[in-house]
Chains A and B, each alone.
Chain A
Amino acid sequence: MVKIVLFVLLAEAVTVIGQILFKKSANSLERYSLRSNGARIRFLSEIFARPSLWLGFLAIVIGLVIWLIALAQGDLSLVFPIGSLQYIMILFLAHIFLGEKIDKMKFIGTFLVVFGIVLITTTH
């Protein structure tokens, strides 16, 4: 069981790193309004030229594979509640690596979401 918990945590950590890399690539772009097709095309062509985006993809795929291995071996009522910890990881890692603020509303809201997921996924 400890092994499965560690696997899930590893999968979440790698996925969260992928999301942070996605966000980093999105933050590195100029601020387009995305209202015209020209701006949308420039936005997409620029973001796909970012190495951090592709590193993010790689991390997400690796995270998914580890997640599937954990899912295949562990009970859903164990894997999903632990998996919901990724929301807490995002809260703090986005603060550390992206400079996103943690305010009271975000903090309370994130923990409520995690609590809700735990309630939904541990009962039958």
Chain B
Amino acid sequence: MKQNHLTFKIFSLIVLNDLVDTAAQLFMKKGLLHTGIDSVNLSNIAEFAARNASSAFLWLGILVYALNFFIWIVVLYKVDLSIAMPVGSFSYIFIPIFAILFLHEHVNMVRWIGIICIILGIHFVSQSKKPIMKEEKANQWLR
């Protein structure tokens, strides 16, 4: 049966999707950092692409990114897009937290307020318990 609202299971899937996305971004960033090219412009873009093409980390990042699609499509199958997207903004929280834990970055007060706003926003959106769509509209999509 179709889900009418965000269940804990789907919520966990969205968080997993964000964690995998964060990992993919970090891999890709790590891959891109090792090219030895500081700024990209039209004259060196071919060399930039060629050097990146041999970066294992970049490909790992792209692979993880692609695999994440399978999690995302299951999420979309179960809940509203307009619920899944805001709840998916967890990566904006994960990245500062990872930066604090692993990179010992300083996070200022304004950013903490921003993180709290996002958490509150996700909480509000996940309280939205409206059906996926009107029943008749759902039927229209069934084959």
**A residues neighboring B (CB under 8 Å):** 19-20, 22-23, 26-31, 33-34, 43-44, 47, 72, 86-87, 90-91, 94-95, 98-103, 105-106, 108-121, 123-124
Pick the contact of A119 from B83, B117, B120, B131 — CB < 8 Å?
Answer: B117
Q: Which of B2-44 contact A (CB under 8 A)?
A: 2, 40
Task: Given A94-B82, A100-B133, A123-B108, answer yes or no on A113-B117 (Cβ-Cβ < 8 Å).
Answer: yes
- Measured in the bound complex, the distance between the Cα atoms of B85 and A121 in whole Å is 18
- Measured in the bound complex, the distance between the Cα atoms of B133 and A112 in whole Å is 24
Chain B residues near A111 (CB, 8 Å)? Answer: 121
Chain B residue with the shortest CB-CB distance to A117:
B92
Pick the contact of A113 from B110, B122, B131, B133 — CB < 8 Å?
Answer: B122
Check B125–A110 contact: CB distance below 8 A.
yes
Q: Shortest beta-carbon distance, B127 to chain A, in Å? A: 5
A-B contact count (CB 8 A): 143
- Measured in the bound complex, the distance between the Cα atoms of B82 and A86 in whole Å is 11
Q: Which of B80-118 contact A (CB under 8 A)?
A: 80-83, 85-86, 89, 92, 96, 108, 110-111, 113-118
13 A-B pairs (CB sep. < 8 Å): A22-B73, A34-B77, A43-B77, A94-B82, A98-B133, A100-B81, A106-B128, A108-B124, A109-B124, A115-B114, A119-B111, A120-B96, A123-B108
Pick the contact of A26 from B73, B92, B120, B123 — CB < 8 Å?
Answer: B73
In the complex, the 9 A-B pairs of residues with the closest C-beta atoms, listed nearest first:
A109-B124, A119-B114, A112-B121, A116-B117, A109-B125, A116-B118, A113-B121, A120-B114, A101-B130
Known interface pairs A103-B128, A109-B121; 5 further A-B residue pairs with C-beta atoms within 8 A, sorted by A's residue number: A98-B80, A115-B121, A119-B111, A119-B114, A120-B118
**Secondary structure of the A side of the interface?**
helix
Chain B interface size range: 35 or more
- Measured in the bound complex, the distance between the Cα atoms of B110 and A119 in whole Å is 6
Q: Shortest beta-carbon distance, B122 to chain A, in Å? A: 7
- Measured in the bound complex, the distance between the Cα atoms of B131 and A117 in whole Å is 27
Check B124–A31 contact: CB distance below 8 A.
no
Check A30–B143 contact: CB distance below 8 A.
yes
